[in-house]
């Protein structure tokens, strides 16, 4: 999973960094966040495993979060590019673009994943919940973690009348309303 950048017309393709750059997210402020995870304990490719940001020209690589226990994955920038939401150990975490001001906004054990900021920055959508209690689905919350509400219920699939597995949701995506 090497990170590349390319112009919108398809020219200028170039490799940014030769490491495991997974799930890149581009900020309106011109930074790219990505997870470096080579899945080989003590065998790093490039920098240590974790959540990083970098400029599109390959400069100012900065480690924002991560360690062997929780790397920080699925980054998504706030619409103004000042904050980043990501998943770490089944929690949704937010922090400033420089890695400061880190705050877990969900409880452990809820299994939340795939944070996605709303276009106005007032909400974060997440997938997850607790399938054991039937509290699984698509949720929205404020960026401070308050006001969590399920907007789509995850249904269980059945096979000959027996409940077998939870319906799977992909990462949510917001789009601004057309004007």
Q: pTM of this prediction?
A: 0.80
> According to the model, what pLDDT value does residue 50 have?
80
> According to the model, what pLDDT value does residue 152 have?
83
Backbone angles phi, psi at 116, to 5 degrees: -145, 120
Pairing relationship of beta strands 21-26 and 32-36 according to DSSP bridges: antiparallel
Residue 154 to residue 112: CA distance in whole angstroms:
13
The beta-carbon contacts of 152-157 under 8 Å, at least 24 apart in sequence, are 154/129
List per-residue pLDDT tens for the chain, 179 residues long.
677 888 889 998 888 765 667 788 889 988 888 877 665 555 544 557 788 888 888 888 888 887 655 667 889 999 999 999 998 887 899 999 999 999 999 987 778 889 999 999 999 999 887 656 666 788 999 999 999 998 887 766 666 655 555 566 778 888 877 77
> According to the model, what pLDDT value does residue 141 have?
94
> According to the model, what pLDDT value does residue 46 have?
52
């Amino acid at each position: 999973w090497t990170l590349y950048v390319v112009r919108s017309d398809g020219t200028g393709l170039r490799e940014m960094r030769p490491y495991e750059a997974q799930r890149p997210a581009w900020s309106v402020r011109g930074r790219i966040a990505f997870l470096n995870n080579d899945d080989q304990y003590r065998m790093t490719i490039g920098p240590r495993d974790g959540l990083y940001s970098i400029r599109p020209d390959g400069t100012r690589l900065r480690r924002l979060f991560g360690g062997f226990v929780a790397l920080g994955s699925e980054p998504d920038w706030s619409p103004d590019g000042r904050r980043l939401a990501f998943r770490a150990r089944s929690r949704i975490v937010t922090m400033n673009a420089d890695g400061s001001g880190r705050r877990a906004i969900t409880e452990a054990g809820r299994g939340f994943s795939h944070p996605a900021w709303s276009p106005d920055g007032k909400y974060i959508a997440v997938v997850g919940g607790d399938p054991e209690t039937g509290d699984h689905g698509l949720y929205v919350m404020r960026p401070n973690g308050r006001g969590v509400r399920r907007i789509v219920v995850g249904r269980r699939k059945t096979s000959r009348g027996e409940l077998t597995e939870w319906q799977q949701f992909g990462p949510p995506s917001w789009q601004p309303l057309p004007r």
